[in-house]
Amino acid sequence: MSLDLLKVSAWSNPKSVAGAIAGVLRERGEVYVQVIGAAALNQAVKAIAIARSYVASEGIDPICIPAFQDIEIGGEARTAIRIFVEDRARIAPAEPSPVSAEETAPPL
């Protein structure tokens, strides 16, 4: 399954981007938001905060995981920030691994 990628610029309207983020979260439960530059990152973070308020009443609790992404624009290499946004409820808690008494006992 390919994830939706929303590209946000410094001139993006945060409320419009928030609506798009909320829509994709409702439909797929996860979305990537990509930015280049501090001003675009500012708009994206505002949009994510607004989207959070849009979906909260539906039990969706968005969380963000930022990462750097090397991309190419017009033949020029650039570094973007991609923010993975997903519903916290989609993250399954890790199952505790069974530990034997031998593994937890202090050495003699």
Q: What tens digit of pLDDT does each residue of 55-103 get?
A: 999 999 999 999 999 999 999 999 999 999 999 987 756 555 565 555 5
Question: Does position 107 have pLDDT exceeding 90, yes or no?
Answer: no
pLDDT for position 92: 59
Average confidence (pLDDT) over 26-54: 97
**Strand-pair category, 76-87 with 62-73:** antiparallel
DSSP state of 90: G
Average confidence (pLDDT) over 50-58: 96
SS3 category, 94: coil
DSSP state of 95: P
**Strand-pair category, 5-8 with 62-73:** unpaired
Give Dmax over CA atoms of the chain in angstroms: 66
pLDDT for position 108: 59
What separation, in Å, do the N-terminal and C-terminal C-alpha atoms of the chain show? 52
Cβ within 8 Å of residue 92, ≥6 positions away = none
- What does the alpha-carbon distance between residue 44 and residue 50 come to, in Å, rounded to a whole number? 10
Domains detected in the chain? 1-75 (3.30.110.20)
